[in-house]
Amino acid sequence: MSVIKNVHLKGKDFLSLKDFMKEEIFYLLQEAAVMKQNKIDHILTGKTLAMIFEKSSTRTRISFEAGMSQLGGHALFLSSQDMQLARGETLADTAKVLSGYVDAIMIRTFEHEKVETLAKYADIPVINGLTDLFHPCQALSDLFTIQEIKGSLKGIKVVYVGDGNNVAHSLLIACAKVGCKMTVAAPEGYEPDQEVVKLAKEYADQAGAMIEVTNDPVSAVRNADVIYSDVFTSMGQEAEASERLNIFSPYQVNETLVSYAKPDYLFLHCLPAHRNEEVTTKIIDGPNSAVFQQAENRLHVQKALLKALLI
């Protein structure tokens, strides 16, 4: 792909990839590749990122914190329980206060409406580090990893197997915008949100891509270039764990299922993984797996995002 120039994202919020054009997505991927080659670049000296966590985190917290440090800036870890949010201060007031202290806000929370409210009242960029509806930072990293390994995104068949959750939603939007063919295989009643699927299909039509949802994992993974999995039970669903394990067991990514994919298929997982539940140890630790390269890429992609939003 030719070098993309004249893309201006300074001051923009990053709540969902719905709000980003294809060219802007490819620009961020291009910048991420530069960041991966040049890990230390103090372009954000004097900048501060506030990170609000209502959900626990490994990759999101560490990649943003390390990324700000490598770019010369500073990240503040803010547990919602340690803030006045826990005592009833509104998100609107919090957004206005933080806007006077820091240069951007990243929040990892439950309801997507919280991110939207924060963005509405903040005068600085707000980044969605994860909500129950979307996980755009993960999807951007997924695209970067696929492009890095496969050499291209156009026409790549990506198959997500499992719960139609926030990761599936963001991946649907991301793949549709950049021209991937994406199929989600989920049990009946656990398919992705219908409005998200409808929107993804509209983007796919514009990009010459394809979006499909099915209950049949075998038909889904036929000739797949990428097989993607996530835990069967996400944060906040622990009470459903036994029931979900039973319902989702036919959707385990194992040797039998991947035999229907292309021989050089790529296995991805947003992590953390529950080995021998949604994916067998042999697959996630096997030669087709790129889950740790994918995890590392969160750092490079988020540095590219921070640079684009703040410079």
Q: Which residues are annotated as a binding site for L-ornithine?
A: 166, 230, 234-235
Distance CA 59, CA 27 (A): 23
Annotated binding site for carbamoyl phosphate: 57-60, 84, 108, 135-138, 270-271, 298
Torsion of CA 12, 98, 51, 303, to 10 degrees: 40
148 with 294: CB under 8 angstroms? no
* Catalytic annotation present for 138: yes
**Catalytic choice (30, 70, 103, 108):** 108
Residue type, 134: F
User: Per the structure block, which two tokens stand in for 76?
Assistant: 């503040």
Annotated binding site: 57-60, 84, 108, 135-138, 166, 230, 234-235, 270-271, 298
Tell me whether residue 10 is exposed, middle or buried, using C-beta atoms within 10 angstroms of its C-beta: 0 to 12, 13 to 18, 19 or more.
Answer: exposed
Residue whose structure tokens are 């990514």:
253
Which is catalytic among the residues 230, 244, 294, 302? 230
Tokens of 50: 């506030």
Contact 160, 137 (CB under 8 A): no
The sign one gets for the Cα dihedral 110, 304, 65, 143 is positive
Q: Which two tokens stand for residue 291?
A: 């889950």
180 catalytic residue (yes or no): no
**Which candidate in 112, 135, 244, 269 is catalytic?**
135
Other CB atoms within 10 A of residue 66 CB: 16
Tally Cβ neighbours within 10 Å of residue 303: 27
| 87 flagged as catalytic | no
Whether residue 270 lies in the annotated active site: yes
Q: Would you name the residues annotated as active-site residues?
A: 108, 135, 138, 230, 270, 298
